[in-house]
Chain A
């Protein structure tokens, strides 16, 4: 199967000169359609920077990112907007990533309007209801404010908003680490369902190896900005080759 996203020798550097921080160093990997690709590592290892570069909240310093045959590493303006219909992001903090003054449904309507999805308001309303159902929420709840929802519900809303554009790849940056364990399981189940129903691919950024092993197909271990080990999730976690991966696994009591 052809790759959905191919990243080659990608670098992200913050700042210039002496004080620069080399957050992502020569990273190469690919994601296939409908695949859940895990990215693990400790905090500060560059995994979030890589995730943000892929959604293009960061501009990569060098290297290439080919999405469905087009290099997207330097897109801007209109083309970038189009690219963002295909790749979306779910953030770690479901409390902060919803706009506090807007009803959650209006926030999704806003996105639909900006991307000119749906002919008129009533069509967009219907689409919002559909999205809410897709993530397991009551469609009526769309007309409430973010603070009226629990953390897990908000994360579902964030997922619904990301799905509004019908993306093929979802960058999930620690999507469950701010949630209770029982809620985590529900959200992970939702992500699995979305993968099977919509052939959605994920870049699943996490520091939680148990979660990664549970949900991912393949995984890359990042250390100090570099990918030190990559492969099928079972191989990497049950039979780690790199020293750092072993240390990481040793730090988790369950393994």
Chain B
């Protein structure tokens, strides 16, 4: 008789994740940040569609450098703009960077990793050579170089710079996993049954290594956000929009005069976002590893 109905990997992982309080707290934070990003996008699109200047862009020097109060919970910056409203826009930009760079980097990493692992031989040699070359270049310099040559010197440069350079780690991981799975009987059986290479790779092997992709996403997301902040801070990232990097850049000038609020809240938000994603990624990695079965 068949044994009792077992649980799938995902429901099993969810059950384990739920037990981890810290992970659930981080998940809550991630959800909160996501909602803020969606809200920020709605506000942005609304003003964009109506062609009016949103309040977070409106200069009002009368209220410049106001400390946090009930009117401006996080105070105002040097041009009298509400820090909280700008912070929320910063979440929007951080998310855009995290998601779009992932949409560039993850498919490259997964597809190249699958091809290298599955076909081996010269395909593998070429792809290993390619990622070794990418990996040998200093990361930030490489990103800056790409961002510099992109004509529209704004977000597009950030997306491409980060997206095109951060697939290497994932590619290596996926290649290793595919190499491992390729020799397993279920893949041999699928081959013997006349199922094509593409179908075996993407329908049979890929779902088995999807957890690697998900964990990589949660870990590379905050890294991409951090890189964007650095780029914007250095002046080759976002321009004209309230990115966290630009906010930190403008806040640092007045920090020594005691205007602590802008710097504090922006770095706190960045800190929380990065921490939440990283801890959640770690917890997910544990939860999705069947070998760590309670």
Contact = CB atoms under 8 A, between A and B. Distances in A.
Nearest to B1: A150
Interface residues of A, number: 33
Contacts of B2: 141, 144, 148-150, 153
Contacts of A147: 3, 6
Interface residues of B, number: 25
Contacts of A88: 192-193
Interface string A119-163: 000000000000000000000010011011110010000100110
B185 A145 contact: no
Contacts of B208: 100-101
A91 interface: yes
B191 interface: yes
A34 B239 CA distance: 76
A172 to B, nearest CB: 12
Given A114-B195, A115-B194, A148 B5 contact: yes
A250 B224 CA distance: 68
A80 interface: yes
Interface in B1-46: 1-6, 8-9
A86 to B, nearest CB: 10
Contacts of B196: 114
B184 interface: yes
A201 B32 CA distance: 63
B199 A99 contact: no
Interface string B112-149: 00000000000000000000000000000000000000
A81 B194 contact: yes
Contacts of B5: 144, 148
Nearest to A161: B193
B270 to A, nearest CB: 37
B207 interface: yes
Contact of A96 (B4, B186, B203, B207): B186
B194 A98 contact: no
A141 B6 CA distance: 14
B213 to A, nearest CB: 14
A84 B9 CA distance: 32
Kindly name the residue among A99, A115, A150, A153 whose own CB sees the greatest number of chain B CB atoms within 10 A.
Answer: A99
Given A93-B185, A149-B2, A80 B193 contact: no
A136 B220 CA distance: 50
B189 A97 contact: yes
A15 B204 CA distance: 28
Contacts of A81: 194
Contacts of B189: 89, 91, 97-98, 158, 161
B59 interface: no
Interface of A: 55, 57, 80-81, 84-85, 88-89, 91, 93, 96-102, 110-111, 114-115, 141, 144-145, 147-150, 153, 158, 161-162, 165
Closest A-B pairs by Cβ, 6 of them: A96-B185, A84-B194, A97-B185, A97-B189, A148-B2, A81-B194
Interface of B: 1-6, 8-9, 184-186, 188-196, 199, 203-204, 207-208
Given A96-B186, A114-B196, 10 more contacts: A57-B188, A88-B192, A93-B185, A96-B184, A102-B204, A115-B194, A145-B6, A145-B8, A148-B2, A150-B1
